[in-house]
Amino acid sequence: GDNDMVQLYLSLRYVFNDPIHGTVELHPLLIKIIDTPQFQRLRNIKQLGGAYFVYPGASHNRFEHSIGVGHLAGQLVEALRTRQPELDINDRDVLCVKIAGLCHDLGHGPFSHLYDQMFIPKHEEASVEMFDHLVEFTNLNIIIIITDYNAINMLSSPQWPYCGRPKDKSFLFEIVANKTNGIDVDKFDYFARDCYHLGMQNNFDHLRFIQFARVIKVKKDELNHICLYGSNSAVFHSVCLVDHVFEQILNSPSVELAEAKKILERIISRDHYRFLGETKPRQVLTRVYFSLPLLDPIKNVYFYSKRNPNTAFNIPRDQVSKLLPACFSEQLIRVYSKKKKTDEQSLEAARRHLIKWCKAKGFLLYPLAPSHKTKELAS
């Protein structure tokens, strides 16, 4: 019968090797999702976009990142279920969290985060719509049978109440996209994956976080939150690098994209614009951190101690690492000359206009590779 078919289907497991997480075992439903055109398109979206032109190793895509997030989401929810059986995490919860992790980036379009601002409010909302499209137009009705459909949409969590789970399972919505403090498995994967491909050291141990994570009800809002062990605190920051798909523009016959194609062709051939200088506007406290309208995200990170493992608390600001800056991202304004061939006299005239504009705004000018004349002008 149907139940026998479902049990046979669930008994299957798919294993592959990931350069970041090693041996990764995926549920067959995740494989069904991965095999759809909606998910396969993520193979063509670079995780770090234009950074690939600077770092040759940064060739990884949203495809493998999404698989990694699905894997880590499963690791964290399984760890919580094992350590805290009182949370009543069931198989359906685990599966829904894994699917949410796998599908969290389905909505990324060309130019990715830049595409977010220009055409849609957020890629998270587009991910939900893409998932709806995926289920509706592909043969994935088995998902509806085994899991409750609304709960899968954990990947987008605007505010409580959520339609997918009762209030006592609010912590499930902090695993993939944590709207409380920004600490989630999405960042765990791209911290590790991006550093690996960029040839940089990753100082954050997500396995230790998973090992010590604990769910505690917080008095502030009477909700169950994922808390960190007091001596295991970590400082997070992210650099948002624009993703894009050059091929779609370069191969397009559209007349409207002709100018864009010229720009991309210059970038690919390294025929870069002539740099004139850069200026740094007055820096202010960052009001947006991990898409949160918060001045200090650490205020919303909860901890617990060995002595009181069931009590959540915040740490005072003076105990936070000095590595956590007041400004999480700096603003730079860089000016380039668009012309391919420009004589030095024209360049100096353009630099003078830039210096004049900076002085009028009260900005300091920092030429990246200034000539002696520009040094004199800037001084």
What is the rounded distance in angstroms from the CA atom of residue 185 to the CA atom of residue 177?
Answer: 8
DSSP 168-232: GGGGGGGSSS-TTTS-SHHHHHHHHHHHHHHT------HHHHHHH-EEEEETTTTEEEEEEEGGG
123 is catalytic: yes
Q: Report d(CA 60, CA 329) in Å as an integer.
A: 24
> Catalytic: which of 123, 206, 225, 244?
123
Spatial neighbors of 190 by CB under 8 A, at least 6 apart, are 47, 65, 238
Dihedral sign of CA atoms 139, 140, 144, 150 in order? negative
Chain centroid, CA 182 distance in Å = 10
First CA to last CA distance, the chain: 82
Alpha helices in 256-362 (DSSP H): 258-268, 344-361
Distance CA 281, CA 252 (A): 37
Distance (Å, whole) CA 216 – CA 199: 37
**Rounded distance between C-alpha atoms, residue 73 and residue 96, angstroms:** 10
CA 16 from centroid of its chain's CA atoms: 23
3-class DSSP state of 320: coil
What's the CA gap between 107 and 42, in Å, rounded?
9
Under 8 Å between Cβ of 149 and 103: no
* Placement of tokens 């595409």 in the chain: 115
Residues written for the chain = 379
Per the CB < 8 A criterion, the answer to whether 184 and 124 are in contact is no
Angle 293-295-299 (CA atoms, 0-180°, nearest 5)? 100
- What residues act catalytically? 123
